Amino acid sequence: MQRSDGRAAQNDVATGQGSPASPTQLFVAFTLLALQGFGGVIAVAQRVLVEHRQWLTREQFIEILSLAQVLPGPNVCNVALMTGDRFFGWRGAFAALSGMMVLPLIIVLGVAALYAQYATEPAVAGAFRGMGAVAAGLVVGTALKLASALGSNPMGVRVCWLAGATIFMAVALLRLPLVWVLLVLGSLAATFAWTRLRTRNAGDG
């Protein structure tokens, strides 16, 4: 049986980049970077992995990130997995992902326990109303940022708006189950994008 675990690691060592000494070092590094990431770990991950530790080149990081963004799952967790996998196969992937999750999980559950205890205090309830309002704004703001990138989408801006508005109505207003909505609309959109890309390629060549 061939294992691909070691092969990826050798390729990267050959580039002359720095590399982690052990899965334990990966665990520690990812714990430290997760603890610095309030409200978004990607920026911190880029600084630590590329600039500080130099485990990845800028290009390698961008490649990992763009793949992480297409796949389901938290982007930053996928980045941790793929980075760990490059160096120590599945052991590295596990070490990096646990580093990212374990201590932050303990902290967040600690806060949740405190919240549960004091949720009836008017000031605490008020603070969480305020933070909840901001949280909603953060999500909408992120959506707006992503929306400005739709200009270069092969489906064209108008189709993108139509697709985005339709799924919003189906999920937010009609409260339809996401699975079916996404399967139907997602496959329609991907098929349409595919035909557009194919015509464009044919036109180019």
Pick one of 1, 14, 111, 202: the residue that binds other proteins (CB under 8 A): 111
Residue from 22, 54, 108, 117 touching other proteins (CB under 8 A): that is: 108
Instruction: Name which of residues 133 to 192 contact other proteins (CB under 8 A).
Output: 133-147, 149-150, 153-155, 159-161, 163-168, 171-172, 175, 177-179, 182, 185-192
Residue with structure tokens 């999920």? 171
- The window from 16-24, 51-59, 111-119 that contacts other proteins (CB under 8 A) reads 111-119
- What is the nearest approach in angstroms of other proteins to the Cβ of residue 169? 9
Determine the Cα–Cα distance for residues 91 and 3; give it in Å rounded to an integer.
Answer: 13
Stretch that binds other proteins, among 20-28, 47-55, 82-90 (CB under 8 A): 82-90
Q: Which is nearer to other proteins, 24 or 140 (CB)?
A: 140
> How many C-beta neighbours within 10 Å does residue 159 have?
16
| Contact by Cβ (8 Å): 96, 80 | yes
Q: Which of 90, 117, 118, 199 binds other proteins (CB under 8 A)?
A: 90
Nearest alpha carbon to residue 79 among 103, 57, 62: 62
Scan for tokens 């008020």, then name that residue.
126
Examine residue 26 and tell whether it contacts other proteins (CB under 8 A).
no
Answer yes or no whether residue 18 interacts with other proteins by CB under 8 A. Answer: no
From 19-27, 51-59, 110-118, give the range in contact with other proteins by CB under 8 A.
110-118
Closest of 12, 76, 85, 81 to residue 44, by C-alpha = 76
Say if CB 24 and CB 47 are below 8 A apart: no
Q: Of residues 33-52, which lie at the interface with other proteins (CB under 8 A)?
A: 34-41
205 is a contact residue toward other proteins (CB under 8 A): no
Structural tokens at position 190? 């991907």
The least distance separating other proteins from the CB of residue 195, rounded to whole angstroms, comes to: 8
What separation, in Å, do the N-terminal and C-terminal C-alpha atoms of the chain show?
Answer: 42
Dist. CA 160–CA 147, nearest whole Å:
9
Q: Site for other proteins (CB under 8 A): how many residues?
A: 106
